[in-house]
Amino acid sequence: MTKYRIMTFDGGGTLGALSLQLLNRLVQQNPKLIRNTHVFAGNSIGSFTALALASGRSPKEIFQYFKEKILPAFSVSRPGGPVFNQQLPYSGFINAVRTFFPSDLRLKNLKKRIVVPAFQLYSPELNRWTPVLFHNFPGSPYLDEKASDVILRSSGAPANQRAYQNYVDGYVVAANPSTASISFAVGKAKVPLDQIAVLSIGTGEAPTRLKRDTHGWGMVSADNIRPENLKDLPPNWGVLLDRSPNEPLLPFLSIVGSGSGYYETMVSSNLLGNRFFRLNPRIPNLSYTDPSVVPTAIEIANKTNLQPAVQFLGKNWG
């Protein structure tokens, strides 16, 4: 019998709208969904959702704030885009997150357990960089960390945003934090594996692929990479300018994020079997940084068949 319930949220920038709309639809079907969840986990924009839920905010309130205050932070691009400069003026996102969460709200004050991955660029204790899993389970060294700081540390996507307090986006560790959450349930909460259930909500599965011959590719694959000569840059792992609609602009970074997300789903499913459910509808290639994609993302969420998820929750969430 399921006794310990975990809900996780992927990163995905503006596509957080898709996961939030899916969540709101699920809550309409199962009003006890949030109350009966023991752990909320999230990466990047998913960490905003996870910590907001863990602090007692409703899915409807979170989504409204996301649309009114978070999305505008994604609306202005800087020259050079994601290749030679920051794509986003990160200050707007920082202000929006800090405004939503009280300045004195710390992980120890949250009403639910949380797990949030990030990557620390330099750890004085280890004398190297290291992945970090922020959490508020008993004995956590992060209990006094501010909720807003943890979210921002998990959300500084390399090539799109600057690092925050020497941390970058958790997607370089775990784009989908389900496996990490399971490990904390077993290792910290001492819950047997056969009593754990996980609902993993993604931000859409796009048909990203590389079917072309990648022989000889490097991170740059050219001697002259001045911005004015970008049109002459040959295909490479760093940036792919002559891409088709289903090819990634930043192949290496996309592999890190998408690859780890698929991996986490595979491992979590192997650990829990039918007590793991992945809700991640197929989507066209949509921008993570362009707010104009949000209506499309919401439409996809509204058209997604939730019956399999509702049946899973009925068995495992009550």
Distance of CA 100 to the CA centre of its chain: 18
* CA-based end-to-end distance of the chain: 11
Asked about 213 being catalytic, the answer comes back as no
Active site residue 44: yes
Per the residue annotation, which of 19, 44, 55, 269 is the catalytic one? 44
Catalytic hit among 55, 148, 149, 169: 169
Q: Which residues contact 292 (CB under 8 A, 6 or more apart)?
A: none
Q: Is 232 exposed, middle or buried (0-12, 13-18, 19+ CB in 10 A)?
A: exposed
Alpha-carbon distance values, 21 to 18, 84, 94, 162, 195 (Å): 5, 33, 23, 28, 28
User: Catalytic residue positions?
Assistant: 44, 169
